[in-house]
Chains A and B, each alone.
Chain A
């Protein structure tokens, strides 16, 4: 039972354009959400997070949007750069829990 789903295994975007990565969740108890980025042969690194009391959080080129009624979140990267090519995982948790539930990941490729 996949509680956090990333339905697009891969995404290809032209450099300078916007990248939009999507994530859906089923557990209504989830109220804190994160995105992690992973390069080959490295561990994931934390990118950005959002609490359910907000619907948007921005950090430089990265913005995460949360639609609680649709149980959907998205990560926008603009403008996309070649160094953004990586696998992106979304993750979720109920506040107070000590662990995260991860999605399957989406491989983003930025083309020059």
Chain B
């Protein structure tokens, strides 16, 4: 039982490049989330999904897109990376009956130069 996994663990991008971060969970959770963590800012919600085929904006959605084509996967895309998107990105998942007890992945450290 791997829990929540994130791919890749580290990535360096040049400004303007695009990339996709993959999150996978094997707990059959309905809800999935993407957060970013920056120094002094805590965890901020980017986008979330309450089920396959549905997505919603969080607190800081600009510059990101997401897709949830399969229940177990939640993809975060950066179409044109900017230095302000340098951050650590965490994916999380939870049961719909207990949405606040979220299970987090290990994170992806992204640097945009």
B104 and A98 contact, CB distance less than 8 A: no
Contacting residues, chain A, for B105 (C-beta < 8 A): 43
Minimum CB–CB distance from B67 to chain A (whole Å) comes to: 18
In the complex, A46 Cα to B106 Cα: how many Å?
14
Contacting residues, chain A, for B59 (C-beta < 8 A): 101
Binds B, one of A14-22, A55-63, A102-110: A102-110
In the complex, A59 Cα to B48 Cα: how many Å?
29
Which among B4, B90, B100 is the interface contact of A91 at CB below 8 angstroms? B100
Q: Say yes or no: A105-B42 contact (C-beta < 8 A), given A34-B101, A43-B106, A46-B101.
A: yes
Contacting residues, chain B, for A27 (C-beta < 8 A): none
A100 and B100 contact, CB distance less than 8 A: yes
A104 and B101 contact, CB distance less than 8 A: no
In the complex, A102 Cα to B43 Cα: how many Å?
6
Q: How large is the interface on A (under 10, 10 to 19, 20 to 34, 35 or more residues)?
A: 20 to 34
The answer, yes or no, to whether B77 is at the interface (CB within 8 Å) is no
| Nearest A-chain residue to B92, judged by Cβ | A43
B48 and A43 contact, CB distance less than 8 A: no
Contacting residues, chain B, for A100 (C-beta < 8 A): 45, 100, 102
* CB-contacts of A8-34 with B (<8 A): 9, 32, 34
Minimum CB–CB distance from B109 to chain A (whole Å) comes to: 9
Contacting residues, chain B, for A32 (C-beta < 8 A): 100
B106 and A41 contact, CB distance less than 8 A: yes
B102 and A46 contact, CB distance less than 8 A: yes
A interface residues, Cβ below 8 angstroms from B: 4, 6, 9, 32, 34, 41-46, 49, 89, 91, 93, 98-105
Q: Could you list 16 A-B pairs, sorted by A, with CB under 8 Å?
A: A34-B100, A41-B106, A43-B90, A43-B92, A43-B103, A43-B106, A46-B102, A46-B103, A91-B43, A91-B100, A98-B48, A98-B50, A98-B99, A101-B59, A102-B43, A105-B42
